[in-house]
Structure 1
Amino acid sequence: MIRHEGIHHVSLIVTDLERAKLFYEDVIGLRAIPRPAFDFPGAWYGIGGGGQQLHLIVHDGETLREGGIDTRDGHFAVRVADYDETIAWLDRCGIEHRDNRNSITGFAQIFLTDPDRNIIELNAAR
């Protein structure tokens, strides 16, 4: 049997690294962490205090997503400290999102997309 210790990282394809870095640093508030000297561009970010990471990988192709925010499409989720504060921040940044304070999941959810249409869920305790 495999003994899991947690999710180490999620990797996302981006087409414009500088645009993606601005979004993940300035809007989402992630902190950059050192990345090995791969032979392709990208960026790594630490998430929370448990060692989880987000890896951005530059790829010239397109993401498969063309439409808007679909909460049932593939995504990754980040727990945030304050639901209302997060909604207010996204509104100030002009970021389109779908929110559901009373989700059937038992926690409040906010869905948005990054500049390459990757779906992100931000969730918080109710």
Structure 2
Amino acid sequence: MLKLNGVHHIAIICSDYQRSKQFYADVMGLTVVREVYREERRSYKLDLEVSGLYQIELFSFPDPPARPSRPEAAGLRHLAFGVDDVEAAIEHVNAHGVATEPIRTDEFTGKRFTFLADPDGLPIEFYEK
């Protein structure tokens, strides 16, 4: 049987590297681990850390094609971050000009959550632990 040890990283291709870097590092509070520019690909790669456990790789490529990203499009549905207090998380991102949806409650767990979007419209969820 295959033994998976966890999620190693999540890769995101952005259309505006500086704007997405600012969003994920400054607004979302992810820690920058390393940033490299790959001349042969004309691409930045930014490694970001979430709580010392997970990594998000942020890539820039010249003229990436658009991808449907609404929650019901085929493929990755959304990126969810666990938070201690969904209202505090909402207040934080709202203070940075990021809009959020109204708080909902998971009908199966009773936990509260909300959605927002990254600069490219990728749905992001805050899910209260």
Q: TM-score range by the shorter chain?
A: 0.7 to 0.9
Structure 1 gap ranges (5+): none
When residues 21 and 105 of structure 1 are mapped into structure 2, their CA distance, relative to the original with a 3 A threshold, is: farther
**Is 1:117 aligned with 2:115?**
no
1:6 maps to 6
Give the aligned residue type for 2:124.
Answer: I
2:112 maps to 108
Would the aligned equivalents of 1:90 and 1:96 in 2 still touch at CA under 8 Å? yes
TM-score by length of 2: 0.81
1:58 maps to 60
Superposition RMSD in Å: 2.0
Number of equivalenced pairs: 121
Structure 2 gap ranges (5+): none
- Structure 2 CA distance, aligned partners of 1:58 and 1:8? 20
TM-score by length of 1: 0.82
Q: Which secondary structure does the structure 1 equivalent of 2:59 belong to?
A: strand
When residues 96 and 105 of structure 1 are mapped into structure 2, their CA distance, relative to the original with a 3 A threshold, is: farther
How does 1:1-126 map onto structure 2 within 5 Å?
1-35=1-35, 38-39=38-39, 40-50=43-53, 52-59=54-61, 60-65=63-68, 70-73=70-73, 74-106=77-109, 107-125=111-129
Stretch deviating more after TM superposition (97-106 or 39-48): 97-106
Give the aligned residue type for 1:98.
Answer: E
Stretch deviating more after TM superposition (4-13 or 71-80): 71-80
Would the aligned equivalents of 1:23 and 1:114 in 2 still touch at CA under 8 Å? yes
When residues 108 and 29 of structure 1 are mapped into structure 2, their CA distance, relative to the original with a 3 A threshold, is: same
Aligned-residue sequence identity (percent) comes to: 26
